[in-house]
Structure 1
Amino acid sequence: MYQTILNLHSYWAYIVLLILIIATFNAIIKSAGGKEYSAKDFRVSLFTLIVSHIQLLIGIVLYFVSERFSLWSELGGEVMGNSLARLYLVEHPLVNIIAVALITIGYSKHKKKLTSKAKLKTIAIFYTIALVLFLSRIPWSTWMS
């Protein structure tokens, strides 16, 4: 079961990153170009929100079924001293939860804006920060192998 959830979490991450990159660059380009917000922009933003929340749920399940979770009891307070354990048990989950929260906040705030420029700017700001956070905490050595 663990390996299945791990594979799902890893492959779903590709989808999340792809959709988040599309949504982010779409908002940045349209905002900079002064273009109008359209139904397509709404759908892309919503799809980004949905796939990121699914990834979060998969990640939460993976966190608790992972063999690494037992490091909390084995290492105790030394988890923070072990860089690999800290990445998997603290940094990766915490930063990615913050990134999903930013996507959620950006999506919610953009719906309340009245002009196209304000809607696109809100999405661009929040989704860009979330993208940077996601990219900063991906365990690249494990993920790309």
Structure 2
Amino acid sequence: METIQFIHSGWVYIVLIVLVLATLNALYKLFADKEFDAKDFRISLFALITMHIQLLIGIVLWFTKGYFDELSVGEIMKNDAIRKLAVEHPTTMIIAVALVTIGYSKHKKKLVSKPKFKILSIFYTIALALVLYMIPWNLWF
């Protein structure tokens, strides 16, 4: 379990770097009226891939932690720290991954650059905000 926790905590740096890069790239190119090219496609795809890998690692970690083995749902919901790790963090991160996935899927259906960047900007920015909000910073530092 410690190995999985280590991987999950380390991989998040890659996720953050790539997600920030993809979001800033989409925002910059949206407002600068740039053309969508293969590099933009790869950056947004890499953000999608890293987020999905992190999700899979997180799911494995969640099941190995066994929050619900020792505590009842009521006990978990009454404890702020455990509730954040066992319920709020996973739920918010699943929503963030879903937003990146939806944004990535929707942008592929657009034929012109500006709508592609607009969709990526909206969905990736919201996902990034959720990720930054729900990272358990107190456990990192």
User: Would you say same fold, with TM above 0.5?
Assistant: yes
Name the counterpart of 2:87: 90
Whether the aligned pair in 2 keeps the contact of 1:110 and 1:123 (CA below 8 Å) is: yes
Letter in 2 for 1:115: V
Name the counterpart of 1:101: 98
Name the counterpart of 1:143: 140
Q: For this pair of structures, how many residues does the alignment match?
A: 141
Q: List, as ranges, runs of 4+ consecutive aligned residues in structure 1 with deviation greater than 4 Å.
A: none
Letter in 2 for 1:23: A
The correspondence for 1:131, drawn from 107, 128, 131, is 128
Secondary structure (helix, strand or coil) at the match of 2:71 reads helix
Q: Is 1:63 equivalent to 2:23 in the alignment?
A: no
- Residue 76 of structure 1 and its aligned partner are, at CA, apart by 3.1
Letter in 1 for 2:7: L
- Residue 143 of structure 1 and its aligned partner are, at CA, apart by 1.7
TM-score of the superposition, structure 1-length normalised?
0.94
Secondary structure (helix, strand or coil) at the match of 2:36 reads coil
Whether the aligned pair in 2 keeps the contact of 1:34 and 1:117 (CA below 8 Å) is: yes
Aligned counterparts of 1:70 and 1:85: Cα–Cα separation in 2 = 8
TM-score of the superposition, structure 2-length normalised?
0.96
Percent identity between the two aligned chains: 57
Q: Is 1:118 equivalent to 2:111 in the alignment?
A: no
Letter in 1 for 2:127: A
- Residue 82 of structure 1 and its aligned partner are, at CA, apart by 0.8
Name the counterpart of 2:23: 24
Name the counterpart of 1:43: 42
Task: Structure 1: give runs of 5+ residues left out of the alignment.
Answer: none
Task: Structure 2: give runs of 5+ residues left out of the alignment.
Answer: none
Aligned counterparts of 1:81 and 1:70: Cα–Cα separation in 2 = 13
User: Alpha-carbon deviations, 1:35-70, whole Å to 9, x = none?
Assistant: 11110000000011001000000000000111xx23
Whether the aligned pair in 1 keeps the contact of 2:67 and 2:86 (CA below 8 Å) is: no
Name the counterpart of 2:4: 5
- Residue 129 of structure 1 and its aligned partner are, at CA, apart by 0.3
- Residue 20 of structure 1 and its aligned partner are, at CA, apart by 0.1
